[in-house]
Amino acid sequence: MLKAVAEIWVIALVLHVWGEQGTPLHLNGLLSQAINLTSDLNVTQPVRDSFWYFTPSGRRKKRICEFRNDKTHHCDKWNDPRERFELYNDGMTLEIKSVMLEDSGIFELLVTLQDRTTETSLFNFTVYEPVPSPKINITLENVNADRCNITLYCFVMSSAPMLSFVWKYGNQERESYGNGFRIELSLTPKDSSMEYHCLVRNPVSQNMASVLPPQNCSIIHNGQSRNKYYIMLSLLIIVFPLAVWFVIVMNRTTKKGEVSAQTERTYYEVEDLSSQKMSNVQQAKNPPETAKAQTIYCVLQRDGE
């Protein structure tokens, strides 16, 4: 009975160790950058040999590099024509130079120690492209007395799946996954001058764009500017014609007063009667001569002026 229990305990221990070693370590890499895959095995004996295998997504496993106890190592040029793979630390570390999207998959390290026991490490490696610069489209929905309603749409020109989009403004943060993120905002006066940031990221890269609300939203500044605008416009429409009419009336009244204040002068011809009598006396003594008229000018003025 004790022997059976001991055998079960040993089997469980073996399965536990195998499961721990068989769980892939997740690693992420950036396109065109270098990365090192280093085993975390606690090796207490010298390494006899080690082999690296690679299993691309949906394809069969292939050996790419090997290390021998005579300190020789090489990588298969057939599977690595660009010579991007290099071994270090007795084959426990694999360097990948200038990673490509095709490098995404499972890397496996099989180590054989001097006592011929084997250890295994697995790496689930994913390569990501750099996140391109985000673009933001702004749509002004409507503006009322105290609100400015807009729609912001952040997106990137990329076919990369499941990017993280985060909108940041004020103390708020909203996140979504996909190829774009649209938010609808109803801005108050204090929000109309706030800057809105769109952060796009993947596990190894990120990029951000920022935008301000459209200028049309600034009309709600201080909460009542739009109402003041309409009030001032209404007053201008009413007051301006009245001001013009008042100026015209005052101008006409002034001119009329100037005309009435002027003195009217009329000229008349008046004959001197005494001269006419003397002329008649002289006519009796002397031959008749042509009588000369004498003109006298007088200024006449109406009563009350």
- For residue 185, the domain's CATH number is 2.60.40.10
163: CB partners within 8 A, 6+ apart = 131, 156, 177, 178, 179, 200, 201, 202
**Average of per-residue pLDDT across 189-217:** 90
Percentage of residues of the chain with pLDDT beyond 90: 42
Q: Which residue has the higher pLDDT, 234 or 64?
A: 64
Q: Among 220, 253, 284, give the residue marking a domain's end.
A: 220
Cβ proximity of 149 and 143 under 8 Å = yes
In DSSP terms, 67 is beta-bridged to 50, 73
Domain membership of residue 188 (yes or no) is yes
Spatial separation of the C-alpha atoms in residues 119 and 90, rounded to whole Å: 14
Q: Among 159, 194, 220, give the residue marking a domain's end.
A: 220
On whether both 98 and 196 belong to a single domain, the answer is no
**What is the predicted pLDDT for the residue at 26?**
93
On whether both 112 and 198 belong to a single domain, the answer is no
- Cα angle vertex 224, ends 240, 153, to 5°? 120
Domain membership of residue 50 (yes or no) is yes
Spatial separation of the C-alpha atoms in residues 300 and 305, rounded to whole Å: 11
Alpha-helical regions (H) of the chain = 2-22, 225-261, 273-285
**What is the predicted pLDDT for the residue at 294?**
57
How many domains, in total, are found in the chain?
Answer: 2
Which domain range does residue 205 map to? 135-220
**What is the predicted pLDDT for the residue at 179?**
87
Q: What is the pTM of this model?
A: 0.61
Domain membership of residue 197 (yes or no) is yes
**What is the predicted pLDDT for the residue at 34?**
95
**Average of per-residue pLDDT across 18-34:** 78
**What is the predicted pLDDT for the residue at 271?**
53
Domain membership of residue 274 (yes or no) is no
Spatial separation of the C-alpha atoms in residues 247 and 282, rounded to whole Å: 69
pLDDT in tens, 112-151: 998 999 999 999 999 999 999 999 999 999 888 778 899 9
On whether both 145 and 53 belong to a single domain, the answer is no
Domain membership of residue 282 (yes or no) is no
pLDDT in tens, 165-181: 999 998 999 999 998 99
Q: Report which DSSP code applies to 115.
A: T
Mean pLDDT of the chain: 78
On whether both 73 and 164 belong to a single domain, the answer is no
Q: Among 197, 220, 243, give the residue marking a domain's end.
A: 220
Is residue 179 exposed (0-12), middle (13-18) or buried (19+ Cβ within 10 Å)?
A: middle
Q: Which residue has the higher pLDDT, 71 or 32?
A: 32
**Average of per-residue pLDDT across 234-241:** 76
Nearest one of 134, 151, 123, 130 to 64, comparing CA atoms: 123
Is residue 92 exposed (0-12), middle (13-18) or buried (19+ Cβ within 10 Å)?
A: buried
pLDDT in tens, 5-16: 333 333 333 333
pLDDT in tens, 249-298: 777 776 666 555 554 555 545 555 555 545 554 554 455 555 555 555 55
